[in-house]
Amino acid sequence: MSSTVNEVTIKEYDVARSSCPDKKKKQKNERRSRALDFRAGTGAVKRGVRHNQMETVTMSTPDIAEVDQFRCRVDEIFQKVDKLEKKVNEVEQFYLNANKKKKSSSKGNSIREEQDKGRHVPSIKKQQQDASQRESAAAKRMQELMRQFGTILRQISQHKWAWPFMQPVDVKGLGLHDYYKVIEKPMDLGTIKNQMEAKDGTGYKNVRAICADVRLVFDNAMKYNEEGSDVHLMAKTLLEKFEEKWQLLLPKVTEEEKRREEEEAEAQLNMQLVREASHAKKVQAISNELYEVDTHLEQLRETVVQKCRKMSTKDKRNLGAAIARLSTEDLNKALEIIAQSNPGLQAMAEEVEIDIDAQSESTLWRLNFFVKDVFEGCDKSTAGNKKKKRKKEICDAIAQTVKKKSKKPSS
> 57-102: per-residue pLDDT in tens?
444 444 567 667 777 777 777 777 777 777 777 777 776 776 666 6
Please, where are the H alpha helices in 10-56? 10-18, 21-47
Q: Is 170 left (phi over 0), alpha (psi -120 to 50) or beta?
A: beta
Q: What pTM value is reported for the model?
A: 0.46
The whole-number pLDDT of residue 171 equals 93
Q: What dihedral do alpha carbons 357, 361, 366, 370 form, nearest 10°?
A: 40
The half-sphere exposure of 280 on its side-chain side, counting CA atoms within 13 A, is 24
Residue 151: name the closest of 99, 207, 225 by CA.
207
Q: Are the CB atoms for 365 and 41 separated by under 8 Å?
A: yes
- pLDDT of 397 reads 66
Angle at 95 between CA 93 and CA 100, to 5 degrees: 95
Q: Which of 15-24, 260-269, 293-302 has the lowest mean pLDDT?
A: 15-24
Nearest-angstrom CA–CA distance, 27 and 289? 12
DSSP letter at 283 equals H
- Cβ atoms of 19 and 9 closer than 8 Å: no
pLDDT in the model for residue 18? 45
pLDDT bracket for residue 373 (50, 70, 90): confident
- Is the CB of residue 372 less than 8 Å from the CB of residue 50? no
Q: What is the mean pLDDT of residues 214-231?
A: 95
Q: What is the pLDDT of residue 80?
A: 76
What does the pLDDT read at residue 153? 95
Please name every residue paired with 55 in a beta bridge, in sequence order, or none if there are none. Answer: 50
Mean pLDDT of the chain: 75
> According to the model, what pLDDT value does residue 381 have?
64
Query: Which of 316, 328, 333 minimizes the C-alpha distance to 373?
Result: 333
**Does residue 56 surpass a pLDDT of 50?**
no
For the beta carbon of residue 2, count every other beta carbon within 10 angstroms. Answer: 13
Average pLDDT over residues 162-168: 95
CB atoms within 10 A of CB 4: 11
Which candidate, 42, 40, 41, places its Cα nearest to that of 67? 42
Residue 190 pLDDT > 80: yes
What's residue 398's pLDDT? 62
- Is pLDDT above 70 for 27? no
The answer on pLDDT for 111 being more than 50 is no
Distance CA 169, CA 188 (A): 8
* pLDDT score for 64: 66
pLDDT for the residue numbered 196: 92
In DSSP terms, which residues pair with 50 in a beta bridge? Answer: 55
CA distance 320 to 39: 22
pLDDT tens-digit readout, 374-400 = 888 776 666 666 666 666 666 666 666
Task: Write the CA distances from 161 to 155, 157, 188, 233, 242, integer angstroms.
Answer: 12, 8, 14, 10, 13
State the Cα torsion 26-27-32-36 to the nearest 10°.
Answer: 100
Residue pair 381/333 in contact by the 8 Å Cβ criterion: no
